[in-house]
Structure 1
């Protein structure tokens, strides 16, 4: 994925490495995703009956733990872990294959072409995996906030949503999800490629040489920081559009954006930044490091 990596990626290895990396990262970082989702669900100003308004990320964690126990912060983890594994597999497979086609005659990938490959990868994963998995996760978390939760778990919740709303019920917010994922991957991959190239030059290693895990973790973490602040408003709109009350509150994504800003101001579009920042710093570091280690391992094993 580095801009100077002249070797084309093997699609099977990309899929395997990305899937494993995404699943591991999803489970490790899920509590931050739970907190971010809870805070964003409150960004629109309207609460479910009996729902408590959290004062911030720490209050959300502490209150949830006191009221519902430790495992409550893993509500919806199944949907996200499965979705995360699938989307990372699709993301890395799509990115690497688009990047293979965009490399110049010397096998190099410019920053702009890396951004385009990331955009294509993000929109593909959004359409195939991210929208349904995150919609289900968001609805499960939102349902737990009500006084009488109706979903008994991942399978029951998914089947109930489809039964009541049809398949459109798990594809709620597909527009903002595609916009967010496209922007996420475009920014993340292009930044990662740039940071990785800088670290390769700093380390004195050749453009094709594997980097130590500390270097890939640092490049992924820095890419995660840039990604959070540039795409946060899309993430807030996406979460609000996937809430239980979205059908009654918003006509579309633009209407959602306007109403959220009117209710709580423009800075509410960065609601949940702290937990998302925490997640993407570690997420970027973990997923790129695991991906590269597994991919390099598979390549070595093949030889």
Structure 2
């Protein structure tokens, strides 16, 4: 997140700016995440249409179940997003600091993507998989007779029934999704930013938001199948990644692997803009404090 002639990004700046940005982004966009997850958990039945419009799903859930239902599992995702994005920004910035060109302060497009991939793997192992497992189980549980009374109860139940490994159900699918998603999201954003720096295009809030939105769009279109697999393997009644893939294919063939794309796209375009704009703004506040 450094400019051309700035020093390397300090680890504390990466952690704080990434963590705050992740929490803000998750809170702002959660209803779209809720709708997307509901769509991916939908099993095709005769006469029951597959919901495609995220606004319709949000409106239906709000009218039938109230506002609180739209934020079921939100706490787990926000906590996870703070940790996930703190780790992602830290990992990415450290790789970028190590390999960027000392003259231009940029990375090649390939190295940008690889740096993002490494950051995604680290984030999945340390923060994303457990929180996504809890969030997905809570959303799935809310569709029928309630098994969980709260996020804490869900965690206790999962640990009691399946041990610590229960929190890591869907690890393979989540890691594939995180590695690819972070590679495209962080990579695309920084490729655009590096291009703008080398062509002397002003870096401002509008540019940051636009770059983040483009990165979000690219990420969604490239990684949707991994997201669907991850969701199916982390339901209230957890399955293995292999069973999730078989179930998705049986339900609706190849098309099922792209279920929830429109809903996720609506979220990630906004999320990408919010995430990087917030991170850049926080970094601008912190840097002068740490380096007066």
Counterpart check, 1:228 vs 2:220:
yes
Contact 1:199 1:215 in 2 (8 A): no
TM-score between both structures, scaled by the size of structure 1: 0.89
Match of 1:132 in 2: 130
Question: How far is 1:108 from its partner?
Answer: 3.0
2:269 to 281, 296, 299: 281
CA change 1:45–1:244 in 2 (3 A) is farther
Q: Is the contact between residue 44 and residue 50 of structure 2 (CA under 8 Å) also seen in structure 1?
A: no
Moved more, 26-35 or 151-160: 151-160
**Separation (CA, whole Å) in 2 of partners of 1:157 and 1:201:** 49
User: Which residue among 149, 154, 169 is the counterpart of 2:151?
Assistant: 154
* Alignment gaps of 5+ in structure 1: 47-51, 206-210
In 2, the alpha carbon distance for the partners of 1:114 and 1:256 equals 31
Gaps of 5+ in 2: none
- Residue 300 (str. 1) matches residue 252 (str. 2): no
Q: Provide the residue aligned with 2:249 in structure 1.
A: 261
Structure 2 residue 142 is matched with structure 1 residue 144: yes
The 3-state SS of whatever aligns with 1:242 is: coil
Structure-1 separation of matches of 2:6 and 2:272: 23
Count of residue pairs brought into register by the alignment: 288
In the alignment, which residue of structure 1 is the partner of 2:160? 163
* Cα displacement (A) at 1:168: 1.1
TM score, norm. by length of structure 2: 0.92
CA distance in structure 1 between the partners assigned to 2:146 and 2:246 by the alignment? 29
Checking the alignment, whether the CA contact within 8 Å between 1:95 and 1:121 is kept in structure 2 is: yes
Cα distance in 2, alignment partners of residues 6 and 113 from structure 1: 20
Deviation at 1:212, TM superposition (A): 0.9
Could you say which residue in structure 1 is the equivalent of 2:182? 185
